[in-house]
Amino acid sequence: MINPYLIHPATIVEKIQEAEDIHTYRLRLNDEDARRNFRFTAGQFNMVYLFGVGEVAISIVSDPDEPERLDHTIRAVGRVTSAIGQLRAGDTVGIRGPFGQGWPLEDAHGHDIVIATGGLGCAPVVGAIEYIFRRRREYGSVKIIHGVKTPRDLLYHERFETWRRQPDTEVLLASDRPDETWRYHVGVVTELFERVPINAAKTLVLMCGPEIMMRLGVPILMGRGIPATAVYVSLERHMECGIGLCGHCQMGPYFLCKDGPVMRYDRVEPWLGRTGV
Amino acid sequence: MAPETRGILPLADLQRLLDTLHIRGYRIAGPTVRDGAVMWETISQISDLPIGWRDHQEPGRYRLEQTGSAEIFGVVHGPQSLKPFAFAPREPLLQIKRAQGGFSAHPELPEPEKVAVIGARACDLAGLAIQDQIFLNSSYQDPYYAVRREELFVIAVNCTRALPTCFCASMDTGPRAKNGFDLALTEIDNQLVLEAGSEAGSDLLSALSLPLASHNVIGEAAARVEACARSQVRRLDHTRLPQALYDAYEHPRWDDVAARCLACANCTMVCPTCFCHTVEETPDLTGQQTEHARLWDSCFTQEHGYIHGKNVRPTIKDRYRMWITHKLASWIDQFGTSGCVGCGRCITWCPVGIDLTEELPALLASDGRQSAKSTSGNT
């Protein structure tokens, strides 16, 4: 019987600053077998462990085609993530994973893709974007829509610029509290959902970010003809085990660590509108 | 069940059964009186068992009474179900040691131990079956649970007396032990009718070479268990679940029950099926080694719904709703069965006597006011 609780040591190869309290940690599993056998799909997550402190669920933001390199973008906000924030390149953390269901990228072949994100919620789709651009011809047009409060909250600057230069690709950014340098849309991100050009019949939407954005944003897209079954959202709940046993990540009948974090919108729609569930 | 799998044993000869289990290498756990309640303890003698004791249970109340009789299994149950035997309240998962350039993690599986539990009730068997499904038949198997479960020998006792808090009959889980046991006993008139429910149970039964139970005695035992079922005053109508409870999300009754609930988590601790757990990290004083252990958690704690700086279930109302909606509704979607086995422990051990057999009909009442007082059966 495989022990799903076993933690594998991994070395921080690089620590990249994304914002004041946000870093991307490039991890490499120490054990050669573990490293070679590690496979993940975009949208899955790892439990990242710090010795003597504990574990935290973090999505893998790097390219699934390079599974020996595991990037995790972490904001120092809680007990474990603040302690991880103190680490430097060369230090050791632990990894358990990958867990959960990622984005349905194979089913998305031939579709136009709308990627709609907000805040740090952009992290779980980064791997999906990389995956799509490696197979650019298998997909239709790509629209990347991302909203932030202030321009300072915009992570992955360079990546957005790289993505913008890809064929048949548009990057649309929104800030509702811009400064004088902001050259993009001023307002909340859901306003872009109303005006982004789409071919509703062949579009698949990948969305993550605050639940309020999903609750307000998905109906806008649905109003434009995209069915709820063509919208996928990545959801967040407290996750401790990653294997559907600890009970914390429930949303209605789902264990989001196991049935999600990526869920088809029509399945979770009844629960998203409810507070306190 | 074939006749050779049944036997009859005078109460005084129960010791032979205990001795046979000992010889076969089992540690025997049985109900014992401790601190005013019945708890599982390691036993070796009949005299360790709660002879002559009976339990009285009502919402928010548990009392033991010594009747002076020779009855051995007169206490229906204490706060513990079978849950702690396989899903340990605290289970070390890993020992993690600092090593050259980092750390190394070592699984710490429990030592396999042959444990025979005597005195489990039908509701407890149902609870164990549900936990088996969660920990052994889900997408991931839990190796720690598996080790503890592997050599658990379960001796059930059929109930011939229902507590006012019992409602297993309405949940189809009791009071007769139907499956999931190795041996089942029915205590009647200073004798025990034994029934084997597994190969290991049959084997033990033959080793005891008991006289066969007569049809009359078997019939009498069955009749008493039947009567116990009929005497239950509480019931839970789960026919409209799960959907009716999902639909009751905004029912005003949640505010009503939240005003009484203390969020103490007792109901989840005594529940035979609640499986939430958390992980704690305990570094030793040298900082060179740390223990990664899981322990029972409860959806009533503040931390349960925590995500980066906020709580998705901040109020007691949210948490009570989470508990009962999970237990009675979403459990069905997740595992194909209700998460409630009708043991009534959550009613008894709730310090303010919240009774889910009263709350559910109130929550499903369309007029939004408390209804179906008749289901509370508080005599």
Which domains are delineated in chain A? 8-99 (2.40.30.10), 112-272 (3.40.50.80)
Q: What is the pLDDT of residue B369?
A: 46
Which chain A residues have a beta carbon less than 8 Å from that of B249? 274, 277
Which chain A residues have a beta carbon less than 8 Å from that of B132? none
On the question of pLDDT at A92 being above 50, the answer is yes
Q: What is the pLDDT of residue A78?
A: 87
On the question of pLDDT at A54 being above 80, the answer is yes
Q: What is the pLDDT of residue B309?
A: 75
| C-beta separation of A6 from A94 below 8 A | no
**Cα angle at B92 between B90 and B94, to 5 degrees?**
155
User: What's the rounded Cα separation, in Å, for the pair A143 and A94?
Assistant: 35
The tens digit of pLDDT for each residue in A129-156 reads 999 999 999 999 999 999 999 988 888 8
Q: What is the pLDDT of residue B308?
A: 78
B263–chain A nearest CA distance, Å: 15
Which chain B residues have a beta carbon less than 8 Å from that of A78? 308-309
Residue ranges for chain B with pLDDT beneath 50: 1, 3, 368-379
Which chain B residues have a beta carbon less than 8 Å from that of A53? 281
**CB contact B330 to A (< 8 Å):** yes
Closest chain A residue by Cα to residue B305: A238
* Nearest neighbour of B94 by CB, restricted to A5, A92, A270: A5
Interface contact flag, B334 A1, Cβ < 8 Å? no
Closest chain A residue by Cα to residue B329: A253
Which chain A residues have a beta carbon less than 8 Å from that of B330? 250, 252-253
DSSP B313-328: S-SHHHHHHHHHHIII
Q: What is the pLDDT of residue B373?
A: 40
On the question of pLDDT at A254 being above 80, the answer is yes
**CB contact A273 to B (< 8 Å):** no
Q: What is the pLDDT of residue B216?
A: 92
**CB contact A245 to B (< 8 Å):** yes
Amino acid in the structure at residue A270:
P
| Residue recorded with tokens 């001795």 | B19
B104–chain A nearest CA distance, Å: 7
Q: What is the pLDDT of residue A153?
A: 86
Domain ranges, ordered by start, for chain B: 3-87+108-230, 243-287+297-375
Q: What is the pLDDT of residue A58?
A: 96
User: What's the rounded Cα separation, in Å, for the pair A80 and A83?
Assistant: 5
Interval A26-54 mean pLDDT: 96
Name the phi and psi angles at A264, rounded to 5.
-70, 135
Q: What is the pLDDT of residue B101?
A: 79
Question: For the domain with range B3-87+108-230, which CATH number is right: 3.40.50, 3.30.70, 3.40.640, 1.10.12?
Answer: 3.40.640
Interval A208-216 mean pLDDT: 92
The tens digit of pLDDT for each residue in A172-184 reads 999 999 999 999 9
Strand bridging mode A92-99 / A185-186: unpaired
Q: Beginning with the edge strand found earlier in the chain, give each strand of the sheet holding B37-43 in spatial order.
A: B6-10, B191-196, B183-188, B152-157, B115-120, B27-34, B37-43
SS3 B181: coil
Predicted ipTM > 0.95: no
**CB contact A209 to B (< 8 Å):** no
Q: Which residues contact A108 (CB under 8 A, 6 or more apart)?
A: A132, A139, A204
Q: What is the pLDDT of residue B4?
A: 55
Q: Which residue has the higher pLDDT, A119 or A64?
A: A64
**Interface A-B: count of C-beta contacts within 8 A:** 131
SS3 B205: helix
Whole-structure pTM value: 0.93
* Nearest neighbour of B140 by CB, restricted to A7, A244, A270: A244
| C-beta separation of B37 from B79 below 8 A | yes
Preceding amide of B242 cis, omega within 30: yes
Q: What is the pLDDT of residue A121?
A: 64
